[in-house]
Every structure is written in C-alpha cells, then in structure tokens.
Structure 1
Amino acid sequence: MTPHDFLAVEFEGHRPRLKAVAYRMLGSLAEAEDAVQESWLRLARSDADEIDNLGGWLTTVVGRVCLDMLRTRKARHEEPMADRLPDPVVSLEDAADPEQQALLADSVGLALLVVMDSLSPAERLAFVLHDMFGLPFVQIGLIVNRTPVAAKKLASRARQRVRGAVPSADSDRADQRRVVDAFLAAARGGDFDGLLAILDPDVVLRADAGVLAGGLKAIRGAAAVAGQLGTFQRMATIAVTHPALVNGNAGLVNTIDDELFSVMSFTVADGRIAAIDILSDPGRLNGLDLADPTG
C-alpha cells in the first residue's frame, strides 16, 4: 500500500464525522459532501507527515471550508436557505449505516437546523463545533480569526438565539412514534378534536414544495395547523405511509404509485407535536439517498 493509499484509508475513517460536521454547518447534504471532498483534496496536497492530529486537522479544514461556503451564500443571496427546509436525513430502519448514524446523532432535527440558518456564519460555526462536537474555543478561534474569548461569545450568542426557539424533542422514540401514529389516525379519520389534542398550542407547520410552488410556507398555532385537517386527510387517503426516522426523530415517508411524494418530520415535546416539517419538492426528493420503502 502506497503512502497515498494509506492516507486515503485513514481519511475514510474520518469521513462520517466530517460529513456530520459539514451537514450541521450547511443544512445541505450535497454541499456537505462537497466540503468533505474539498478537505480530502487539501489533505492530499499537504505534507501529511507534519500533521500530528489528523482528526483535528480535518475538522478544522472542514470548518473553514463550510465557513467560506456560508459566507459566499450570504454574499450572493442566491436561494437563501431560510426560504427552504434543510435536507432531511431519512432512515427507514432503526439500523442505519455508520455515516447515517453520525448524521442522525444527537437528534439534530430539521426544526433546529431551520433556526440555525438565522445565525451568522461565524456564530453557526462556533455553536456547531463547540456545542455539538466539543472543540475548544482556542481551535475555533483560529478558524474564525478571533480570540478564544471572542469565539466563546459567538457560541454564547448563538446558543441564546437557539434556546427556546426550538423545543427539546422527547428522547423516547417509542413515545414519539405513538404521537405520530395518533396524528396519522386523526388525519385519516378527519378527527379535528383528536388532532387538536396532540398539537402543542405554539406548534409550527413548515411546508416546502419547492421554488416553483412558492418555496417555504409556515403556519403557526394549534388551531391554524388543525385547520389543515382536510389536506392531511386527503394525503393520508391517497398516499401510502411508511414510518421512518427523519433526522433522528419519528417521521413519515409518503409514496404515491411507489414514487416518493413527501417526507414529514415531527418534533414531539412533552407528548405533543411542537413542529411539523414537510418536504415535498420533487427535485430535492429525487436527490435523497433513500432505500425503497416498500422493500
């Protein structure tokens, strides 16, 4: 095995964690993959013998690449992520592969990623790398060209904006699934009172059908969301529904004539649905790496 081949094998061992970092930074699976690939190119061009801690070096590089991508996104104002749902990570079985497990770890739900899109690039990097991956502020400061104290303040500001904006999901997936099953039963039965009973008073429904359909739309409040019962009932009637894990939380995958129609993510907090995120953009659904739910 050549030194280059050995380095490639080592890099592959770090890939799941690197993609998990990049996904949390970018909210886009395709961009996360691009960031990871860029980190490999930079590693291949470097003197690997001079790297004492390969994992730390790669995490730093991916962080810098993602920071540049976020800043470019902000500067161009091209298809801002705030106008679309982040890409969902969907597993139709509890046994996900190692890369999916890394992406799903800590239940980084779509609702949290939506809020994170409102952070500045530097705030998001500090929050993700410190609060989610435990990197020290000394290392984070080097990435954002700030002192460790300034990097700590970035993470603190991000934490304050995130805290309270996103309810903490119930940790028991069986409990989550029972609530989602109750939602589905109420939808199929046209049971308004049953639906209202499982919605948090401040529930938010976000639906992304794609740019051509008007982009991301949000409805807030239990009464307003329950008012969509007719739509839920029609979908529950014409679609075949499959239980799934979406970003680590209980969700649903809906198909029509064996074609993927939508992915639904539920944030269940204190036994009630606090957020529903629905992706039905055909172009983005076609890009999901999702096994046949009927298989």
Structure 2
Amino acid sequence: MDGAAIDRFEASRGRLASLAYRLLGSAADAEDVVQDTFLRWQAVDRARVEVPEAWLTKVLTHLCLDRLRSARARHERAAGSWLPEPLLEGDPMLGPADTFEQRESVSLAVLTLLERLSPVERAVYVLREAFSYSHAEIAGILEITESASQQHVHRARIRVAAERRRGAADPVSARRVVEEFLAAATSGRIERLVALLTEDVTAVSDGAGLGKRLLRYETRERVASFVRAGFRPTSAKRRLAGGSPAIHIAAVNGSPAVLAVVDDRVVGAVMFEVSDGRVASLCGMAAADRLVRLNEVWRRHEPGTPVISAW
C-alpha cells in the first residue's frame, strides 16, 4: 500500500474509532473494527473508490453491525453482564462534543440505552445524532431507503427520550454534588447520602468481575447502603486493590466520576449521573478488563491533587 493511501486512512482513523465506540460501547471492540476496516482498505481496488471517507464509514458500520448481531453480543446482553467501557475525558475516542446530541450520545446512560435498540436503529441514531449524516447518506451507508432511515431515527429518538427524562447538570454543579456525596459516603453519614439521591435512583456494579451478572440496586435506602459499604475502607479491599488507593474526581464519558488509584493505576471507578442537584444513578466498575483503555489514558493524564490522598 502506498503512503498516500495510508495517510488517507489515518486521517479518518479518529472519526472511525469514535463512530465504532458509539456503535459498540467498547473501546477494545472499536479498535478491532477499525483495524479490520484498514485491512479491507488495503485489499480494495482503491482506484474504484470514488469517496474514500464514505467507503470507510460504510465498511466500518457494517462490521459493527455484524458484531452487534453476533451470538457473543446477544449472549452478553442476555446474561446481564454488559456495561459500556468507560473513557476518560480527553480520550480522542470520545470524538465530537460540539453539540448536546454529540455529548449525550457518548454518555454511559445513553450507551446503555442504545443496547435496547435494534442494531440498525442504533446505527441510524448514532450516524444522525452524533455525526450529522443526512438521511440520504445514511441510506447509502446502511443500504436502506431514506424513508426507512427517517423511521428508524424517529423510533430511536422516542425510545431514548422516554428513558432520558432527566435534566442535564452543568459540569461544575455536578462535580460539587459528587464531592458532597463522596464526603457523606466516606464519613458514613447515611441520612445525608439518602438526601443526595433522587427518588428513583438506581445503581449498578460489576462486582469487580467476580460474578457473571451485574449487581443492581434500587430505592434510596438500598443504594445508600450499597454506597456506604463500597466506600468503607477495609484491609481486604486494600489487599484486592494492591494498596491504599488515592481518590480522585475526574470526568468520564462527560460525567463526574470517582476514581480509586494505586501506583498510577485506576483500580475502580464510580460514574455518576446528576440531575437537579442530586445523584440519579451510579455505575461502579472494578473489573480490570473494563478499565484497560481508561488506564492507558490515565497514565498520560495529569491527574492533579486527589480529594483523598490515602483511602
């Protein structure tokens, strides 16, 4: 392959990776699909490719659809073990964030909701909302009619909006709520914790990957008890983490998160959704395979002073 062809692909790599991540919810899978797209770019008769960007987008999107339809993906969703892979602020795979729709499309809440759409609905929604493709362009990418594209995005918007009734908090206010929440959680003030939760709060945890299914909690009291237990330091947790973590507050997928860090390695993350000054949902991850990409970016990141230097 000549250098010009490689340069043309590399110029599209970031956009392709961001598209694949939104479609698959996994940075590792997104990287695999981008590489598969590159291999097809190597093999194609490029003299017959009129618009390389459109060709690459179409190939990558169909590779993502194949993955979403695969037996493995269906099994993971059915088994209740799937969570989006978290990405730290500054990760180029998060892609465009100029509009509300672009920022919303990469939030953990929306990535989780997109799992409930059909693969084609998910693709149309992401191409339209996050990348502003026209229905004519989407029709060409997915080999459907413009009318079908319009119908798919209409249904997807309705389904996402039905679940996303919360008002978005600005980053400064959201961080302030999380700081107060962390102070209550680490001090054991259960009543204050409950007061900082919305009436319909939910929490999910991967249980550090020790079980096959995710742990789910509802009601303010149960979530507060789960949080207090999770933030209570014990010698067993320190052994599991490999030391006494420093606690940082960072932005993950556009939302505030609490990160536990040992020797410059993130060993646990809790992501928050804040609405109207209270915590509406929490998502805890500590399985190492879910934090690989986040750790890669963290090691290149200037973390600043931890809010708790030794937990």
Shift of 1:271: 1.9
2:136 aligned residue: 138
1:209 aligned residue: 207
Seen in structure 2, the aligned counterparts of structure 1 residues 178 and 211 have a Cα distance that, compared at 3 Å, is closer
8 A Cα contact 1:167 1:274, kept in partner: no
Shift of 1:88: 0.5
Measure, in 2, the Cα distance between the counterparts of 1:167 and 1:85.
21
Measure, in 1, the Cα distance between the counterparts of 2:132 and 2:293.
31
* Structure 1 unpaired stretches of 5+: none
Seen in structure 2, the aligned counterparts of structure 1 residues 100 and 283 have a Cα distance that, compared at 3 Å, is closer
> Percent of aligned positions with the same letter in both sequences?
33
- Counting only pairs closer than 5 Å after superposition, residues 181-260 of structure 1 correspond to structure 2 as 181-209=179-207, 212-235=210-233, 239-256=245-262, 259-260=265-266
Measure, in 2, the Cα distance between the counterparts of 1:270 and 1:39.
43
2:274 aligned residue: 268
1:291 aligned residue: 298
8 A Cα contact 2:88 2:251, kept in partner: yes
1:194-241: CA deviations, max 9, x gaps?
A: 212221111111111355423312112323212324314315996421
The amino acid that maps onto 2:298 is: A
8 A Cα contact 1:19 1:33, kept in partner: yes
8 A Cα contact 1:25 1:66, kept in partner: yes
* Structure 2 unpaired stretches of 5+: 239-243, 305-311
The amino acid that maps onto 1:26 is: L
8 A Cα contact 2:27 2:293, kept in partner: no
1:224-278: CA deviations, max 9, x gaps?
A: 2123243143159964211211112111211346553211111112222111111
Shift of 1:156: 1.5
Measure, in 1, the Cα distance between the counterparts of 2:126 and 2:276.
25
Q: Is 2:70 the counterpart of 1:62?
A: no
Q: Secondary structure at the match of 1:164?
A: helix
Q: Is 2:286 the counterpart of 1:280?
A: yes
The amino acid that maps onto 1:206 is: V
Match of 2:81 among 83, 86, 90: 83
2:241 aligned residue: none
Seen in structure 2, the aligned counterparts of structure 1 residues 64 and 167 have a Cα distance that, compared at 3 Å, is same
Shift of 1:48: 2.8
1:64-103: CA deviations, max 9, x gaps?
A: 11111111146x7443385221110024xxxx25x24517
Measure, in 1, the Cα distance between the counterparts of 2:224 and 2:162.
23
Give runs of ≥4 in structure 1 deviating > 4 Å.
235-238, 256-259
2:95 aligned residue: 102
Shift of 1:147: 1.6
1:125-156: CA deviations, max 9, x gaps?
A: 11111122111222323344322111221121
The amino acid that maps onto 1:240 is: A
8 A Cα contact 2:23 2:122, kept in partner: yes
Seen in structure 2, the aligned counterparts of structure 1 residues 285 and 235 have a Cα distance that, compared at 3 Å, is farther
Match of 1:53 among 51, 57, 60: 51
The amino acid that maps onto 2:215 is: K
Measure, in 1, the Cα distance between the counterparts of 2:181 and 2:149.
42
The amino acid that maps onto 2:130 is: M
Q: Is 2:8 the counterpart of 1:31?
A: no
Shift of 1:57: 2.4
Measure, in 2, the Cα distance between the counterparts of 1:290 and 1:235.
26
Superposition CA RMSD, Å: 2.6
Normalised TM-score (structure 1): 0.86
Q: Secondary structure at the match of 1:133?
A: coil
The amino acid that maps onto 1:291 is: W
8 A Cα contact 2:203 2:281, kept in partner: yes
Normalised TM-score (structure 2): 0.82
Seen in structure 2, the aligned counterparts of structure 1 residues 34 and 196 have a Cα distance that, compared at 3 Å, is same
Seen in structure 2, the aligned counterparts of structure 1 residues 101 and 114 have a Cα distance that, compared at 3 Å, is closer
Measure, in 2, the Cα distance between the counterparts of 1:151 and 1:30.
28
Measure, in 2, the Cα distance between the counterparts of 1:168 and 1:63.
30
